Amino acid sequence: MKVGVFSTKPYTRTFFEEVNEVFGHELVFFESRLTMETAGLAAGLPAICAFVNDVLDARVLRTLADGGTRLVALRCAGFNNLDLSAAGKHNLSVVRVPTYSPHAVAEHAVALVMTLNRKIHRAAARVREGNFALDGLMGFDMHGRTAGIVGTGRIGLEAARILSGFGCRLLGYDVAENPDCVALGVRYADLDRLFAESDIISLHCPLLPSTRHLVNDKSIARMKPGVMLINTSRGALIDTRAVIDGLKSGRIGYLGLDVYEEEADLFFEDLSDQVIQDDVFARLTTFPNVVITGHQGFFTRDALDEITRTTLANISDYEAGRPCPNEISIDRLRK
Ligand code: NAD
C-alpha cells in the first residue's frame, strides 16, 4: 500500500525501511509535520502515517479524505491529537499502536525521578567544571517513600513495579482498578488522598476532556509540600502556569517533564540556534529543580522496532480487508 509517513526523522526512516522489507509497502517520507498547510502532500495516497504532534483535526481529516486517503495509521498509543468523530464522518479508518514497550516510558519516568532526587543533572555539570562540592546535591532514600500513580494501565503498572523494587509505598488512582497493580500491593485511593499522601506523583493516564489540567491550582494546593511531580503522559494533563506558581512557592519541590502542553512548536527539532519564543517554557527551564526531556519516553530501540512492526502490520491488515485489533473508532470506544 502507498503510505505517506509524516514527521519523518532519520531514525524513523531507518526503522521503517528495515522493517518494511517484510511488509513491502510503498513508503513516501515527509519530514514535515502534518498540519493544514502540509495535508495536501498526501493527495493521492491511500494511507498516511502520523505521530504524536501531527494535527488530525476535522479540517485536516477532511482534506486527507478529499485527497483520496482512506487510512490514518498512528504510530503512537495516544490519539488525543485526532478528531475521531470527524474521521468517522469522512470514512477514514484509524489504527494505532496501543502497546509497544510500556517499559520504555515507565523506565524514563523513573529516570526523571532519580535524576531529580539525586540531582544528577547538576552533579554531572559540576564535575565537568571541576567542582566536586556536594552542597545542594542532597537527595532522599526512595525506600519507604509514597509514590502515587495516576492511571494504572500498562505504563502505570510498569512504573509501579519499578518503584515497588525501590521499596516505595504505592498509591493508585484510576477509573478502573488493575488487578496486576492490586497484586503488586498498589492501594487504590481517590485523587484527593493520592495528592495529599504522595511524595512522588507520576501521571500515566491519557489526555481526555476529563483529565485536561488534572494538575491545577486547586490540586497543587492539596499536595504535600515539596512533592515531586512527573509527567511522561501528555502535556495538557498539567496546567503549566499553575505548576510554575507551585515551584515558585515551594509547594512543588521537583518537576520532571517529558511532555509539555505546547510542545508541538518545540519538541523533536533542533532549535539550539534560535531564541525560544515560548516564555512559559523558557521560565520552566530556569528552575534548578526541574528536568525536562523532549518527549523521548518511547525512544528505545525495542520500542521503535515494535512501533514500526505494529504500524506496518496494521496497514497490511487494512489493505487485506482483515479485521485489525488496533483499529479505533467512536463505536469501538463506546463498547
Ligand atoms: P493504558 O490505556 O494502558 O493506561 C491508561 C490508564 O489510564 C488506564 O488504566 C485507564 O483506565 C486510565 N484512565 C483513563 N481515564 C482516566 C482518568 N480520568 N483518571 C485516571 N486514570 C484514567 O495506556 P498506557 O499505554 O499506559 O499509556 C498511558 C499514556 O502514556 C498514554 O495515554 C500516552 O498519553 C502516554 N505515552 C507517552 C509516551 C512518551 O513517549 N512519553 C509514550 C507512550 C504513551
Its pTM stands at 0.94
Residue 236: how many CA atoms within 13 Å on its side-chain side? 13
- Identity of the residue numbered 89: K
Domain covering 2-100+300-334, topology = Rossmann fold (3.40.50)
The length of the chain in residues reads: 335
**Cα 129 to ligand 1 centroid, rounded to whole Å:** 40
- The ligand 1 site (C-beta within 6 Å) comprises 77-78, 99, 102, 105, 150-156, 173-176, 204-208, 210-211, 232-234, 258-259, 295, 297-298
Rounded CA gap, 188 and 190, in Å?
A: 7
pLDDT of residue 329: 85
Rounded CA gap, 267 and 282, in Å?
A: 13
Which residues in the chain come in under a pLDDT of 70? Answer: 333-335
**Cα 205 to ligand 1 centroid, rounded to whole Å:** 4
Assign domain 102-292 one CATH number from 3.30.43.10, 2.40.50.140, 3.30.750.24, 3.40.50.720. Answer: 3.40.50.720
Write the CB contacts of 306 (distance below 8 Å, at least 6 apart in sequence). 97, 100, 101
Strands (E), the chain: 2-5, 26-29, 47-50, 71-74, 93-95, 146-150, 169-173, 187-188, 200-203, 227-231, 252-257, 290-292, 327-328
- DSSP letter for 267, please: T
Ligand 1 site-directed mutation target among 7, 51, 82, 105, most atoms within 8 Å of CB: 105
The domain spans of the chain are 2-100+300-334, 102-292
**Cα 204 to ligand 1 centroid, rounded to whole Å:** 5
- DSSP letter for 261, please: T
pLDDT of residue 335: 59
Summarize pLDDT for 267-303 with one digit per residue, the tens. Answer: 999 999 999 999 999 999 999 999 999 999 999 999 9
